[in-house]
Amino acid sequence: MSRFPSRYSPGLRFLFAFAVLAAVASAAPARAAEDQGWFVFLDLATTQPNSLDQHFANHFDFTNPATVVSERLVIDNDADLTFKIGGGYGFGDGNGRLRVSYWSFDNDDAQSGSVSGGLYPTLFGYGYYGGGQYLYNAAGVAFEATSSVKASTIDVDYLREIVTGRKASLLWLAGLRIASWEEDQGFEGHDGISDYFQEKHFESDGAGLRLGAAAEFRFTEHFGMTSSLVFSFLHADTEGESSQTFAIGAPPTDVRQASDDNLKGEMRDFDIKGVWTYGRMSYWVGYEAYEWDGMVADPVPPNDGLFLGGSASRGRDSVGFNSLHAGVAFKFGKGT
């Protein structure tokens, strides 16, 4: 199955956003203040994707004629290492700071085995040539399912304190987000007579506004806690393709395509962390959660058909990422 190329390179988008930030900061008037100057940061996390619901087949066990057992087979998605990098400029004198950041998630999963009875792949659904593909062998049907998920965001934010005290402060945030989602799924099954293959690929790109707030609590000279909640409202587009065939490269093949240029995307980012600060360096550990709505929906869901009606998918419209993360930031320039 052909793959759609990414329309915009995440690396190029990040460099462009950072160049805009650098130009704005360079043009800003110099003010001597504690928070004036440049900063950079790196954050690493162990991230678990949730609710991907990558359902690849229905299994019907006919080996006991008195009781037929059916089950949905879903890939068990593992946690993976993610990273966030960024930097920015503090204007000083209470004028806030600009920040640009890039976050990336890239994970591959696979699941294989053998089941007795009937196996009905669900990536494509009921088709013109293949109808409802199914494999059957009382002794066992061998299968392998694969998945690949890639997600990334680029954020350009302006942050400014609105309430400041000796031990705590409250900040508001406004900015822009560019987000992308890319997902691949594959299925291969063999029952000793037939070989079936199904594939799916889709991707979505979105951009829009970000609004949020953050609170900082300082317990000692060097230690504090920071918590933030940010909402993103995106306009997105999506396109996808799925296919099924009886052998690799052997026609006939069913292909289904879809696209939508007016898709709603909404995201919620929550973070809480402990921060240690010593001079120019800051270190932190914490927990963060991301929720993506809308643009992660499958544009080519399986058609209802043989043994698929009502059980092919939960109609996924939202996924989440939960992370334990740690990072470091470095300030340099005036006021550091």
CA separation for the pair 246, 134 (Å, rounded):
11
The verdict on residue 128 lying in a domain is: yes
Q: Tell me if 320 sits within 8 A of 292, measured CB to CB.
A: yes
In a domain, 4, yes or no: no
CB-count burial class (<10 Å; 0-12, 13-18, 19+) for 118: buried
Strand partners, 157: 99, 175
Number of domains in the chain: 1
Instruction: Flag whether 101 is in a domain.
Output: yes
- Residue 1 maps to a domain: no
Domain assignment of residue 2, yes or no = no
pLDDT for the residue numbered 41: 98
Q: 153: domain range? A: 10-332
pLDDT at 294: 94
pLDDT in the model for residue 268 = 97
| Residues 6 or more apart in contact with residue 270 via CB below 8 angstroms | 228, 229, 288, 289, 290
Q: How far, in Å, CA of 4 to CA of 199, rounded?
A: 13
Mean pLDDT per 10-residue section of the chain, whose length is 336 residues: 43 47 38 70 97 92 80 93 96 91 97 92 83 82 96 97 85 97 96 89 97 95 96 97 82 89 95 96 97 95 62 73 97 69
Q: What torsion do the CA atoms of 230, 231, 233, 239 make, to the nearest 10 degrees?
A: 90
Q: What is the pLDDT of residue 167?
A: 87
Residue 5 lies in a domain: no
Residue 272, domain CATH = 2.40.128
pLDDT for res 315: 66
- Decide if 179 is inside a domain: yes
DSSP code of 303?
B
The conformational region for residue 252 under phi > 0 = left, psi -120 to 50 = alpha, else beta, is beta
Q: Which residue has the tokens 């643009």?
A: 295
What is the rounded distance in angstroms from the CA atom of residue 267 to the CA atom of residue 58?
A: 31
pLDDT at residue number 4: 39
